Amino acid sequence: MMLLSKISFVLVLGLGLFFNGFESKPKLFVVGDSISMQYGPYLEQYLKGKFSYDRKRETGDDSGDGERPKFANGGDSGMVLAYLKTKLKSKEFQPDIMLINCGLHDIKTDIETGKKQVEIEVYKENLKQIHHLLADRGIPMVWVRTTPVDDVQHNSKQQTFHRYAADLASYNEVADNVFEALNVPIIDLHQFTLNLGDDLFADHVHFGEATRKKQAAFIGGFIQGMASKN
């Protein structure tokens, strides 16, 4: 993580110079899982006046189930990639920065077969393609590390799939390696969330309101830091 921190600092500096060239508010666009949906309103509030905030939106009637990779939820890495391929067909879609996360859906493990929703090597390639798509359009991205799960509680309640903290650690490590090599800034929301202590979860994956506010403040501080470095 020392290397990750050093790389992130250098890239924050570079993106800060990039943002200082804007006369109007830079546009932030978020694609992520239900965790990002839950801290999103607070992030938008904290960035008000500094950034124009938007995110992947609902495309139909929402079931209200945060586990379903539909509508505002980015889903797994393959779904994020497919969404961006479609979204980038519009030349009008040109955010100044993309905040990206995926992983919680990728690590879903079928109880009967043991198969992951997205195997780790496919996850790795999907992340590379996501970056390639955005780089081709000149859209800088920032990666958000996937947040913790309480796998004991989670797996005692889920009847169709399980998640494992060990898998989450492996997928986060793969993402770290991919984005460090590509010089993409990384927000370590995983470790930040762990550092908040106990009593974090609203269930076994999602977090309480107090934690969501802190996550948003952490991300907002990182994003605003990019704009202020010179």
pLDDT at 15: 54
pLDDT at 61: 38
Please tell me the distance from the alpha carbon of residue 201 to that of residue 130, in angstroms, as a whole number. 30
Q: Number of structural domains, the chain? A: 1
Say whether 183 sits in a helix, a strand or coil: coil
Its domain, for residue 218, covers 2-18+25-55+70-228
* 217 is a domain residue: yes
Say whether 57 sits in a helix, a strand or coil: coil
CATH of the domain at 161: 3.40.50.1110
* 36 is a domain residue: yes
Please tell me the distance from the alpha carbon of residue 139 to that of residue 152, in angstroms, as a whole number. 39
* 189 is a domain residue: yes
pLDDT at 175: 99
Terminal C-alpha separation, the chain:
24
pLDDT tens for the chain, 230 residues long, are 544 544 444 344 445 444 545 558 999 999 999 999 999 999 999 999 999 999 998 764 333 344 444 579 999 999 999 999 999 999 999 999 999 999 999 999 999 999 999 999 999 999 999 999 999 999 999 999 999 998 666 656 777 898 999 999 999 999 999 999 999 999 999 999 999 988 888 777 889 999 999 999 999 999 999 877 64
Report pTM.
Answer: 0.85
* 173 is a domain residue: yes
pLDDT at 218: 98
> Do the Cβ atoms of 127 and 186 come closer than 8 Å?
no
pLDDT at 125: 99
> Do the Cβ atoms of 134 and 184 come closer than 8 Å?
no
pLDDT at 206: 87
> Do the Cβ atoms of 168 and 117 come closer than 8 Å?
no
Please tell me the distance from the alpha carbon of residue 53 to that of residue 221, in angstroms, as a whole number. 14
CA-based nearest residue to 10, from 184, 188, 142: 184
* 62 is a domain residue: no
pLDDT at 23: 59
* 180 is a domain residue: yes
Please tell me the distance from the alpha carbon of residue 123 to that of residue 187, in angstroms, as a whole number. 19
CA-based nearest residue to 96, from 159, 21, 172, 184: 21
CA 122, distance to chain mean position in Å, is 17
Find the helix packing angle between 209-228 and 34-46, rounded to 10°.
Answer: 60
